[in-house]
Structure 1
Amino acid sequence: MPQPPEQPTGDLNSPTAEPSSRVAESSARAGRAVLALVVAASSLVVIDMTIVAIGLPDIRRDLGGSLADVQWVMVAYLITMGAVTQVMGSLSDAVGRRRVFLLGAALFTAASLACGLAPGVYVLDVARAVQGVGGAILMVNALPLLSHQFEGERRNMAISTWGSAATAVGLLAPLLGGVLVEWLSWRALFLVNLPVGLAILALGLRHLPADTPAPGAVRTVRWPGALLLVGALGLANFALLRGAGQGWTSAATLLQSASALALLALFLRGESRARSPLLDPALFRAPAFTGAALAVFMSRVLTIGGTVYFVQYFHDALHLGPVATGLLLAPVFLAQMAAGMAGGKLLTRFAPGHVIATGYACKAVGAALLGLAFPSAAVEAHPWLLVLPLLVWGTGGGIAGAPVMAVAMNVTGRDRAGMVSGTITSLASIGAGLGTAALGVLYASRLTGAGSATGSGATPSPEAVATAAATVLYASAALATLTLAAVLTLISPRHAPAPARKVFPG
């Protein structure tokens, strides 16, 4: 009977051990470099979603233009980003992660320079649209790069670190924006991206692995389908971002929404017959993937939508400036970062559905506590009453957000990492817009119901603002609870089991 080969024995310092040790050390360094790159790139993109809002009054005063022209500085970035994300994800599957990521970094950096030097508002609007395309490329390539670089538990931790940092850093945008505008100029909001963008390009050229498409990866992009999808997502995001100004039941909003649905239907019909689809509907047949997609969507509904009305409340009820608002949001940032790292660790011991559900439970409790605290803090003019509820809210966001991306990547093949990342990121973008819009309708209706003269141009009273913001937070608590129930069903241990416990000899 043949005997199993003997295991090598000997001193770990022997010559045979040294090469493997050097390889492991080199791989670890490369992993840290890639993680730092994608965290830095994603942080730039996320910060630029909101930081510019601080400078809009100064931009209008300096460059002129109507209020609508200046609002497009925000809207153009978000629309183009939401429109091209899925296509860029599939493009990275076809062309290669490295070259597409570097293209995104170059485009984002060049557009930031154009924004900072813009002589007029229309040039600024166009440059922001181009910056949104670059931002979409950087965001959608983050997950595939991490998935390629790391394995097993290290991959889960890397994705958790990236997700926590990218989400939490957005909360620092008001503080950073306030400092830059107050001490320098609105142009600094864009020019500050240049050194970071150039560093990302330099480090990317040095550290990103060469493109080696996986077997079975899509080698081409169906451009007719890509254009249909870009049009559908662009119109959908436009309707969400401009719906409040146009009127949600206006002819313009209804036409944009109907056109988006029609283009999406045409796209899905073509995809069902395509040999190499941009978006494979079969992904959603996996309950765990559907649950992860829903969790990401609802995370952005609550986090982005809710944060908008946090800031509104801080400004109109507590009369805080941008710097003070940023400082008050610091507990959310710190809690989300720490909890995100803890969430990654929890994935090594517990089923991911249970970890995500725990995060949503914290979000529900934090939202309810904030709803209770808002009126008291407004009456007593004591914002520090909000610190504990904000910590709970941030903890929930970190725990819930960290494992979701790992679940989505782990239940699909690496050859479709770009497609998966594009799908998840597109849903996140739509969730942010829909959350802001839907919670905004609730906020405005409650503000009116609380007796505020919103239609006459009068400043709403702090009590009315507190009541309206508290209603938004109670609704957020209810939505978090519903998401918790859906996650426990779709990402159950049967569909996404807990990792096997390691058994050590002796």
Structure 2
Amino acid sequence: MGVRYSQPAGRWVLTATVLGSALAFVDATVVNVALPRIGAELDADLAGLQWTVNGYTLTLAAFILLGGSLGDRYGRRKVFLIGVWWFAGASMLCGLAPNIQTLVLARALQGIGGALLTPGSLAILQASFHPEDRARAIGAWSGLGGIAGAIGPLLGGWLVELGSWRLVFLINLPLALFVVLIAVRHVPESADPTAAHKALDVPGAVLGALGLAGLTYGLTEWPNRGGTDPLVLATLVVGVLGLVGFVIAERRSTHPMLPLDVFRSRQFTAANLVTFAVYGAIGVVFFLLVLALQVVAGFSPVAAGIALLPITVLMLLLSARAGALAQRIGPRIPMTVGPLVCAVGLLLMTRIGQGASYLADVLPAVIVFGLGLSLTVAPLTATVLAAAEDRHAGVASGVNNAVARVAGLLAVAALPLLTGLSGDQYADPGLLSSAFRMSMLISAGLLVAGGVLAFATIRSTVLNEPPPGEPVTAEPREQSPCRMHCAVGAPPLHPEPTASGTASR
């Protein structure tokens, strides 16, 4: 029957999943605050800092769909625990890294752990709780995860000032141990009995990772080596061929991790194109803003972390209202206006320079940007899920989450190529200030493109229409509790419509 939300057993399950996913949520934002200190101590150039962020994003985006399949097949608690242990081990490697190369490798390993534990935490809730309590449990998971994401930059800044950037990673170890102890004692095991008969899409995951790695490396090294360098050209070609091979593998696979038929819906495809434009801009902002605040404006790590707090607070307060607005008037207008408001926020950020004031220069820009994101992301997520068949709800949200991460990955990789910033120039306030302004203008252009694309392609009635292949019914479709809060790093994941398999001790 499942555990009840009001009982101690239910609260233990919720605690384990919230804290487990918080490892990945916090790590997605906390590291950016530490980048200047990492660069200084490890003598890293800009490419090294890019890979410190992108190494994690690359493997997380490449394997997050496979991570959910592994849990269904081998046991959700088991894969979740492996993910937590893996993440903790990689965090220890990050904290002890003697050079930037080791740190980048450890960050890539962290991303694999995140890909195992993030979908696993949501699947555990769906399988463990009584049907009447699932929505409440998943809503709590989503909201508490948002709070964890909000404190990430502040926590990172505090730890950097307290002792060292290494504490940003080492703090994960006691938290991971606590999660493991709770999960082993209180979280029931569950699996999908039919998953054993489905082949894992390992070729698709490997080809996807290879394609993303090739493109990311080529774009990152282009400014240093030049566009005609054999290594740059070779990696870009490998990246393109890897992604082409990924599409072919998914088309031929009997059980693809990315069923290509979800893209038969034009609304689903359009919403993901908007996602790519919007989250490409977001990735650039969160990579460069805290760097510019510290190097150019002279903010301390704590002050730089606090500067981002209004964005997440606004999303916590307004995501549900934006989702409700989209239900009333349709998602087209919010998805059009939201990115345009974000673009205005980025134009205001171009005023951030040497001697910038938080109240006069930073706060107004951050608030406008946060208001735009709050208006955009919940309607966007609702559109993605409404455009997919119910049986593909989990896959559709996973695809949208991966698209957002890939957008940020490639945008950060292309940053030096577009702005001319490379090597150790990021440590020069004058050079970084110029590159920061250029980056904000480019990102504002991406957001405008996203808003225009939404206006041209998204129908206002999409939330009330059946997706392709499903009959028209009089009953409204179930609304996801994950839409109550939308994280900054990527759109929220969504559980499968019904729990597969039964929970057991």
**Is 1:393 matched with 2:354?**
no
| TM-score relative to the length of structure 1 | 0.75
Please give the alpha-carbon distance, in whole angstroms, between the structure 2 residues aligned to 1:159 and 1:410.
22
**What residue is the counterpart of 2:357 in the other structure?**
382
The farther-off stretch of 479-488 and 464-473 is 464-473
The offset of 1:193, in angstroms, is: 0.5
How has the CA–CA distance of structure 1 residues 392 and 59 changed in structure 2, closer, same or farther, with 3 Å as cutoff? same
- Note the 1:20-59 alignment, pairs <5 A: 25-26=6-7, 33=15, 36-37=18-19, 39-47=21-29, 49-57=31-39, 59=41
- Note the 1:153-172 alignment, pairs <5 A: 161=143, 164-165=146-147, 168=150, 172=152
**What residue is the counterpart of 1:275 in the other structure?**
254
Please give the alpha-carbon distance, in whole angstroms, between the structure 1 residues aligned to 2:59 and 2:291.
26
> Which amino acid counterpart does residue 80 of structure 1 have in structure 2?
T
Please give the alpha-carbon distance, in whole angstroms, between the structure 2 residues aligned to 1:87 and 1:72.
23
How has the CA–CA distance of structure 1 residues 25 and 142 changed in structure 2, closer, same or farther, with 3 Å as cutoff? closer
CA RMSD of aligned residues (A): 4.2
The farther-off stretch of 288-297 and 346-355 is 346-355
**What residue is the counterpart of 1:197 in the other structure?**
176
Maintained 8 Å contact 1:271/1:277: yes
How has the CA–CA distance of structure 1 residues 66 and 496 changed in structure 2, closer, same or farther, with 3 Å as cutoff? closer
How has the CA–CA distance of structure 1 residues 284 and 110 changed in structure 2, closer, same or farther, with 3 Å as cutoff? same
Please give the alpha-carbon distance, in whole angstroms, between the structure 2 residues aligned to 1:162 and 1:410.
25
Please give the alpha-carbon distance, in whole angstroms, between the structure 2 residues aligned to 1:120 and 1:316.
21
**Is 1:253 matched with 2:232?**
yes
**What residue is the counterpart of 2:303 in the other structure?**
324
> Which amino acid counterpart does residue 229 of structure 1 have in structure 2?
G
How has the CA–CA distance of structure 1 residues 352 and 156 changed in structure 2, closer, same or farther, with 3 Å as cutoff? farther
Please give the alpha-carbon distance, in whole angstroms, between the structure 2 residues aligned to 1:408 and 1:208.
31
Identical positions, percent: 28
> Which amino acid counterpart does residue 404 of structure 1 have in structure 2?
L
Please give the alpha-carbon distance, in whole angstroms, between the structure 1 residues aligned to 2:337 and 2:49.
41
| TM-score relative to the length of structure 2 | 0.75
The offset of 1:483, in angstroms, is: 1.0
**Is 1:228 matched with 2:195?**
no
Please give the alpha-carbon distance, in whole angstroms, between the structure 1 residues aligned to 2:33 and 2:195.
41
> Which amino acid counterpart does residue 401 of structure 2 have in structure 1?
T
How has the CA–CA distance of structure 1 residues 309 and 262 changed in structure 2, closer, same or farther, with 3 Å as cutoff? same
**What residue is the counterpart of 1:435 in the other structure?**
411
**Is 1:481 matched with 2:448?**
yes
**What residue is the counterpart of 1:492 in the other structure?**
459
**What residue is the counterpart of 1:127 in the other structure?**
106
Maintained 8 Å contact 2:157/2:303: no
Maintained 8 Å contact 1:306/1:436: no
Maintained 8 Å contact 1:301/1:432: yes
The offset of 1:129, in angstroms, is: 3.1
Please give the alpha-carbon distance, in whole angstroms, between the structure 2 residues aligned to 1:228 and 1:176.
36
Q: The residue matched to 1:496 in structure 2 has which SS?
A: helix
Runs of 5+ consecutive residues of structure 1 not aligned to the other structure = 1-18, 446-453, 502-506
Please give the alpha-carbon distance, in whole angstroms, between the structure 1 residues aligned to 2:45 and 2:267.
47
Please give the alpha-carbon distance, in whole angstroms, between the structure 2 residues aligned to 1:68 and 1:488.
36
The offset of 1:31, in angstroms, is: 8.5
How has the CA–CA distance of structure 1 residues 237 and 213 changed in structure 2, closer, same or farther, with 3 Å as cutoff? farther
How has the CA–CA distance of structure 1 residues 399 and 142 changed in structure 2, closer, same or farther, with 3 Å as cutoff? farther
The offset of 1:160, in angstroms, is: 6.3
Larger Rg over CA atoms? 1
Which digits, 9 at most, give the CA deviation of each residue in 1:301-357, with x for residues without a partner? 111202333234324442323233223333333323323343344455443444433
Please give the alpha-carbon distance, in whole angstroms, between the structure 2 residues aligned to 1:131 and 1:321.
27
The offset of 1:252, in angstroms, is: 2.0
> Which amino acid counterpart does residue 400 of structure 1 have in structure 2?
T
Please give the alpha-carbon distance, in whole angstroms, between the structure 2 residues aligned to 1:360 and 1:60.
37
- Note the 1:446-457 alignment, pairs <5 A: none
Please give the alpha-carbon distance, in whole angstroms, between the structure 2 residues aligned to 1:199 and 1:344.
34
**What residue is the counterpart of 2:493 in the other structure?**
none
The offset of 1:430, in angstroms, is: 1.8
Maintained 8 Å contact 1:163/1:401: no
Please give the alpha-carbon distance, in whole angstroms, between the structure 1 residues aligned to 2:328 and 2:186.
32
Runs of 5+ consecutive residues of structure 2 not aligned to the other structure = 466-474, 478-505
> Which amino acid counterpart does residue 430 of structure 1 have in structure 2?
V
- Note the 1:238-387 alignment, pairs <5 A: 238-346=217-325, 349-371=328-350, 374=351, 378=353, 381-386=356-361, 387=363
**Is 1:77 matched with 2:56?**
yes
> Which amino acid counterpart does residue 213 of structure 1 have in structure 2?
D
Maintained 8 Å contact 1:156/1:344: no
How has the CA–CA distance of structure 1 residues 165 and 182 changed in structure 2, closer, same or farther, with 3 Å as cutoff? closer
**What residue is the counterpart of 2:115 in the other structure?**
136
Please give the alpha-carbon distance, in whole angstroms, between the structure 1 residues aligned to 2:45 and 2:415.
26
Please give the alpha-carbon distance, in whole angstroms, between the structure 2 residues aligned to 1:379 and 1:231.
40
Please give the alpha-carbon distance, in whole angstroms, between the structure 1 residues aligned to 2:186 and 2:337.
36
Q: Number of paired residues?
A: 464
How has the CA–CA distance of structure 1 residues 442 and 411 changed in structure 2, closer, same or farther, with 3 Å as cutoff? same
Maintained 8 Å contact 1:213/1:415: no
Please give the alpha-carbon distance, in whole angstroms, between the structure 2 residues aligned to 1:106 and 1:469.
37
The offset of 1:178, in angstroms, is: 3.5
Please give the alpha-carbon distance, in whole angstroms, between the structure 1 residues aligned to 2:427 and 2:99.
31
Please give the alpha-carbon distance, in whole angstroms, between the structure 2 residues aligned to 1:139 and 1:200.
13
